[in-house]
């Protein structure tokens, strides 16, 4: 049976090198890290629907990276 890859394994596999950029909030060099964002959205029946997406953020402030 094949090994199941985790999100961290996939992110590290794609990473070819650390991307270091200037953070606009702190004006210091910081890394860009991959994170998984999960939103819980209530539906009308009293239960929740979970939406998840992968995103890249600044390591120093965890604000979204647009680049």
Better pLDDT: 36 or 17: 36
Domain with 28, as residue range(s), is 16-58
Phi and psi of 13, rounded to 5°? Answer: -70, -40
* Tokens 């991959």 found at: 34
Q: Please check whether residue 45 lies inside any domain of the structure.
A: yes
Query: Running DSSP on this structure, what letter comes out for residue 64?
Result: B
Q: How many domains does the chain have?
A: 1
How confident is the model over 7-24, as a mean pLDDT? 77
How confident is the model over 16-39, as a mean pLDDT? 88
- The answer to whether 49 touches 38, Cβ cutoff 8 Å, is no
How confident is the model over 4-20, as a mean pLDDT? 75
Q: Please check whether residue 64 lies inside any domain of the structure.
A: no
* DSSP code per residue over 6-47: PHHHHHHHH--S--EEE-TTT-SEEEEEEEEEEEEEE-TTS-
2 pLDDT higher than 70 = yes
Q: Please check whether residue 49 lies inside any domain of the structure.
A: yes
């Amino acid at each position: 049976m094949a090994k199941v890859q985790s999100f961290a394994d996939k992110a590290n596999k794609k990473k070819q090198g650390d991307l270091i950029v200037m953070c606009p909030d702190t004006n210091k060099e910081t890394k860009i890290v991959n994170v998984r964002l999960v939103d819980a959205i209530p539906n009308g029946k009293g239960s929740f629907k979970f939406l998840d997406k992968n995103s890249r953020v600044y390591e120093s402030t965890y604000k979204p990276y647009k680049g």
